[in-house]
Structure 1
Amino acid sequence: MITFYSLPSCASCRKSKKWLMKHEVPFTERNILSDPLNESEIKHLLKMTTDGTEEIISTKSKVYQALNVDIEQMNLNNLISLIMEYPKLLKAPILFDERYLQVGHNEEGLCKFLPRRNKKRILPLQALPQ
């Protein structure tokens, strides 16, 4: 099952949700403004990243700009507290299962969540060798 962290006014979240529903991919959606993440959930996200905070923190967001902080210089506990207090620091959407993490709307990235039986009919066929 896919966990889908979303923001209510996020167009990319709506696109990803529509894509998942169209392809009948089961997911559990969570609005991170009305139901913010806790410490263990944030740690889990950070463990799943390949690029660390850069992958999940929206440095272009108004919240990040207003806070005027240097995420790279923060210790883990302060970073987690900051994300818990300001969930809009996170990029959206964030989708993950036990193996994959997808940040932002990207249909090619979302394909990794498709059940194997659905991948063949959805993904473009590769050209056969001649």
Structure 2
Amino acid sequence: MLTLYIISNCDTCRKARNALDDKGIPFKTYDLRKDGLSAPLLEHILHRVPLVEAINKRSKTWRELSDEEKDFDANSGRELLLKHPTLLKRPLLEVDDETMLVGYQDGDYDKL
């Protein structure tokens, strides 16, 4: 079964859920804010999505970071995501053991 990693009040996440529902594709949701982002889950995600692609640099959380925090490497980037789970780009749709789709735009799930 597919897993959709979301933040419940995110409009794009809502669109992704609706797209999957409209296509009749079964999925489970994991709310990163409510359910949390653990170090093992982050590593699970980063095994499929490069760190640079995983950080949402358009988010309010990113804009509120200091310049020092924005200058991250592999280790500090992980720490940043664990400290601020809302920095993770979303939605993330885990399709299989190797594939995770980042973000959502209309038509992204048509091939599913």
TM-score (norm 1): 0.74
Contact 1:20-1:26 within 8 A present in 2 as well: yes
Aligned residue number for residue 30 of structure 2? 30
Structure 1: distance between partners of 2:108 and 2:55: 18
Structure 1: distance between partners of 2:19 and 2:108: 11
Question: Higher Cα Rg: structure 1 or 2?
Answer: 1
Q: Deviations over 1:63-107 (max 9, x none)?
A: 112122235x3232x322221221110111111122421111124
Aligned residue number for residue 119 of structure 1? none
Aligned residue number for residue 81 of structure 1? 79
Q: Kindly, what percent of the aligned residue pairs are identical?
A: 28
Higher helix fraction (1 or 2): 1
Which residue identity does 2:6 align to in structure 1?
S
Q: Deviations over 1:12-37 (max 9, x none)?
A: 11111011011111111011111112
Structure 1: distance between partners of 2:73 and 2:63: 16
Structure 1 runs not aligned, ≥5 long: 115-130
Q: Secondary structure at the match of 2:4?
A: strand
Taking the TM superposition and a 5 Å limit, the aligned residue runs for 1:5-16 are: 5-16=5-16
Q: Secondary structure at the match of 2:101?
A: strand
Aligned residue number for residue 3 of structure 1? 3
Taking the TM superposition and a 5 Å limit, the aligned residue runs for 1:1-130 are: 1-49=1-49, 52-68=50-66, 69-71=69-71, 73-76=72-75, 78-98=76-96, 99-112=98-111, 114=112
Structure 1: distance between partners of 2:58 and 2:106: 22
TM-score (norm 2): 0.84
Structure 2: distance between partners of 1:45 and 1:62: 22
* CA root-mean-square deviation: 1.7
Q: Secondary structure at the match of 2:8?
A: coil
* Runs of 4+ residues deviating >3 angstroms: none
For these two proteins, the number of residue pairs brought into alignment is: 109
